[in-house]
């Protein structure tokens, strides 16, 4: 009888110790737990692939899917250059580059690369995933983002902007941001933004899940931030019911990141793949 009692006490103690150990591991690894939670949520949502590019060729990008992003007045577009020297496929990757090389008939201090899917592919609601890596540097500004195909709610920021990933300078975080007439101030800053950790010098997967009521941001399948539609906010708060297209660019040297330290050049973002899904019926 005594031996049975001792065995029972020992069994209870063993169960308690195992439970305590598992709880401690959970508390010490919140990101891993978060990743499991996100994966469970995604498991219940079925998706259908509607657009992808794995950049498996060499040379120029697929012109049936992308065009060069044009040079313009916004800071990110100031040095964009429609040249295969600044956007090209190599080794199964899309290479977006920025440097200070001199071009005889284009005398600007820097040249940079960007492409967009405007007028070739856009979406209203769905999931966008982009696997990419980039180097750091003072003045650097790589970005993965979305803009409205037709700005039906007015000029920027009124018709919205979805920044899946932006990085500046030497920061150890990426920025995931919403712009619209409600959250964006006169200086271009947004109150709807989140800083997320990422694996430096490695490929990371940056993604959004966009529905009629919310836009959720992820890094490596871990949920970071959700912007929700306000039922009473109107188009000023939620202009995200129209088609948006994709932009991939390596910019810098103007606006947010400030001036370039030429010792850090070239700036390069490599994109492994892009995948876009819609919710399956």
Cis peptide before 157 (omega within 30 of 0): yes
| Per-residue 3-state assignment (H helix, E strand, C coil) for 75-117 | HHHCCECCCCCCEEEECCEEEEEEECCCCCCCCCCCEEEEEEC
Radius of gyration of the chain (CA): 23
Q: Which of 41, 63, 149, 161 is catalytic?
A: 161
Q: Is 166 annotated as catalytic? A: yes
Q: Which of 129, 149, 166, 270 is catalytic?
A: 166
Q: Which residues, other chains included, contact 275 with Cβ-Cβ below 8 Å and sequence gap of 6+?
A: 49, 51, 52, 128, 129, 130
Q: How far is Cα of residue 95 from the mean position of the Cα atoms in its chain?
A: 16
Catalytic residue numbers, as ranges: 161, 166
């Amino acid at each position: 009888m005594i031996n049975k009692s001792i065995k029972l006490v020992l069994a209870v103690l063993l169960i308690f110790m195992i439970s305590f150990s598992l709880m401690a591991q959970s508390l010490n690894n919140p990101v891993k737990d978060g990743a499991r939670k996100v994966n469970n949520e995604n498991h219940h949502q079925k998706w259908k692939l509607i657009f992808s590019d794995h950049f498996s060729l060499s040379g120029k990008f697929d012109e049936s899917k992308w065009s060069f992003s044009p040079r313009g007045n916004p800071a990110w577009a100031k040095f964009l250059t429609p040249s295969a020297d600044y956007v090209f496929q190599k080794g199964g990757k899309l290479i977006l580059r920025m440097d200070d090389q001199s071009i005889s008939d284009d005398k600007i201090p820097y040249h940079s690369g960007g492409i967009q899917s405007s007028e070739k592919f856009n979406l209203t609601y769905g999931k966008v995933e982009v696997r990419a890596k980039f180097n750091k540097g003072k003045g650097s500004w790589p970005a993965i983002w979305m803009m409205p195909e037709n700005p039906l709610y007015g000029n920027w920021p009124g018709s919205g902007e979805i920044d899946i990933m932006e990085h500046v300078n030497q920061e150890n975080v990426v920025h995931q941001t919403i712009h619209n007439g409600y959250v964006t101030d006169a200086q271009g800053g947004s109150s709807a933004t989140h800083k997320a950790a990422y694996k430096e010098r490695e490929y990371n997967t940056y993604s959004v899940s966009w529905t009629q009521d919310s836009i959720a941001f992820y890094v490596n399948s871990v949920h970071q931030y959700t912007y929700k539609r306000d039922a009473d906010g109107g188009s000023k708060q939620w202009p995200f019911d129209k088609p948006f297209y994709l932009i991939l660019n390596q910019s810098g040297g103007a606006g947010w990141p400030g001036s370039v330290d030429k010792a850090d050049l070239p700036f390069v973002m490599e994109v492994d793949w892009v995948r876009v899904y819609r919710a399956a019926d």
